Amino acid sequence: MSKINVEGSEISIIAIDNRDYISLTDMVRNIENGSALIEKWLRNKNTIEFLGIWEEMYNTNFNSPEFEGIKNEAGFNRFILSVKQWVEKTNSIGIVARAGRYGGTYAHKDIAFEFASWVSPYFKLYLIKEFERLKEEEQKKLGWDIKRNLAKINYRIHTDAIKNKLVPDKLSKEKINFIYASEADILNVSLFGITAKEWRDENPDLKGNIRDYADISQLVCLSNLENLNAVFINEGMSQSERLEKLNSIAIEQMKILSESESIKKLK
């Protein structure tokens, strides 16, 4: 569940079958008799027609004959329709009623925006603005998660290559860790021009390590260098040869990445 704040109202958003559903209940929570507005909107003939068109576009199990009967009744003073009745009679998927802690009436974003427009065009515009902002943040987080997981995979490839090719048998744990650290520093020196210890000595007040303060371009390049170093290790290339080659590659890649429009957008 996600939440957005629209003009002082906290509005919940849930995912159903990978689709975003926005709480209509939250939209009218701060309006007097707000819950009655949802059913009033639902009884509107134009609303019924809109919902029917949406369902026929996206819902293969929509009960069209039942919908036609409801549409013919809409507009009469005697016409009454609740969300629960609408869902049960038509097999609707565009609007759902949820019970429990996060209960209420939720509608697919297309329908929720239509409801917001009926309540207040002003509110609708801000709702769309905040919803789009949320989606942008989710995309950024997704991109970061993908990059982080890719870095983990590349790190495993790199450390396995070290283990299989550079770590002799029956070494102490301390010496094995030294080999891993020295290999990590090959990448640090190739890209940043400095070892991890030198960076810590120069930045005693900063927490973490040099890679925690790298920018997007440097992290992408570092991920590439880990892969390449694993290949060079498996090929039997010496540490000095690898350092020189990786540094040359890092220089070329950083030139390209610094001019990349995609990287600029991530930044």
Confidence of residue 251 (pLDDT cuts 50, 70, 90): confident
Across the range 210-222, mean pLDDT stands at: 83
Structure confidence by residue, pLDDT tens digits, 171-196: 566 655 666 678 888 888 888 888 88
* 145 membership: H or E segment, kind and range: helix 121-165
- Beta bridge partners, 16, equal 19
pLDDT by residue (tens digit) across 56-68? 999 999 999 999 9
Q: Domain locations in the chain?
A: 2-119, 135-266
| Amino acid 59: pLDDT | 92
Q: What is the pLDDT of residue 149?
A: 61
> In the block, which residue shows the tokens 């097999």?
91
Query: What is the C-alpha separation between 120 and 263, in angstroms, rounded?
Result: 39
DSSP string, 218-264: HHHHHHHHHHHHHHHHHTT--HHHHHHHHHHHHHHHHHHHHT-HHHH
Apex 49 CA angle, 128 and 84, nearest 5: 80
pLDDT in tens, 12-64: 888 888 889 999 999 888 887 777 888 889 888 999 999 999 999 999 999 99
Give the single-character DSSP code of 170: T
Tokens matching residue 130: 């905040």
pLDDT in tens, 86-96: 999 999 999 98
Phi/psi for 236 (5° steps) reads: 85, 15
Residue type, 139: Q
Check whether 138 has a pLDDT greater than 90.
no
Predicted pLDDT of residue 175: 57
Would you say how long the chain is, in residues?
267
Give dist(CA 181, CA 124) in Å, integer: 55
Mean pLDDT of the chain: 82
pLDDT at position 155 is: 64
Per-residue confidence (pLDDT) for residue 214, from 0 to 100: 84
